[in-house]
Amino acid sequence: MFFKDDAMGQVVQENFIVQRWVWDIPLRRSLFDWELDQWNDLIDYLGNFRSSSFDNDWNDQVFQGKEIDWVQLELLVRVRLATWFKAKFPGRDISLENLISDPLLASSLCIPVRNQMKFLKWSPPPSSFLKLNVNGDVSRFSSRGGIGGLLRDEGGKVLFESSEGYGNSQVAWMELLAMKTGIHKFLSSEWASSHRLIIEPDCKVLNNWVLGSEEPPIYSRLVLELSDLIKCNGFLCRIVPPVCNVEADSLAKSGIGLCGVLWGSWFIVIMA
């Protein structure tokens, strides 16, 4: 629940009318349709409690600091969970009361996965292009920096990769240095005369510096050098999500001296 706080940091207004709780709670943001249904169902259900013991204890717990009744709290959690499920999945043939009694009943229902859900991953370049993925990183423990990069063709074959470590560094400097190192390796390779290059970093700010859409507050000489290299050689440079840059990130971490294992889209770090 998203409550707004008043000056005392409490719920704005509540009162007890005709054996029912009536809540007047301003919310921090507008609710989506299913959230509004969930909210209204919850308020209606709570309003059906007639037990004076329940009402009085709840009032004392909230406003007088009385010790929490964990049985009643569990009931409220079950009600909250059940009303959320019914609002989120209105077509499911299960009653609210049954869900409150046994929340695990929800796990037996088949919830369809949306067909439009897409999983991001590295995509190969078009024909006659090569892709250079680069990344830089700095250890939070030692401030030691590392850079990584790899060049791949349209079939996903790795043509070269690099991993280097440096002393005390800043992340922005490592990211820029990784790009510079990768570009120079490509220019000195056999593929420079036959292929165009697509550079894929995962830092939007640095990408904007290099492309000239933002003025760099630091490292302006290196940024200008990279901008000239990209423009003069007709390279393309575009931002990608970190999940599409996992291999370059693992190479940067290896340069720092962190050992790790690639598992799916995750790089699990093992301190050496």
Low-confidence ranges of the chain (pLDDT < 70): 1-39, 42-65, 68, 110-119, 259-272
At residue 1, the pLDDT reads: 40
Cβ(120)–Cβ(241) below 8 Å: yes
Domain with CATH 3.30.420.10 in the chain: 129-270
Relative orientation angle of helices 171-187 and 246-256, to the nearest 10 degrees: 110
At residue 110, the pLDDT reads: 60
Determine the residue type at 177: L
At residue 30, the pLDDT reads: 62
How far, in Å, CA of 132 to CA of 182, rounded?
7
Cβ(246)–Cβ(262) below 8 Å: yes
DSSP 10: S
Give the residue from 85, 62, 87 showing the smallest Cα distance to 72. Answer: 62
The topology under which CATH files domain 129-270 is Nucleotidyltransferase; domain 5 (3.30.420)
Give the residue from 91, 63, 57 showing the smallest Cα distance to 76. Answer: 57
Burial per residue of 50-83, b for 16 or more beta-carbon CB atoms within 10 angstroms, e otherwise:
eeeebeebbeeeeeeeeeeeeebeeeeeebbebb
At residue 236, the pLDDT reads: 95
Q: What angle do CA 137, 251, 157 make, to 5 degrees?
A: 140
What share of the chain has pLDDT > 70, as a percent?
66
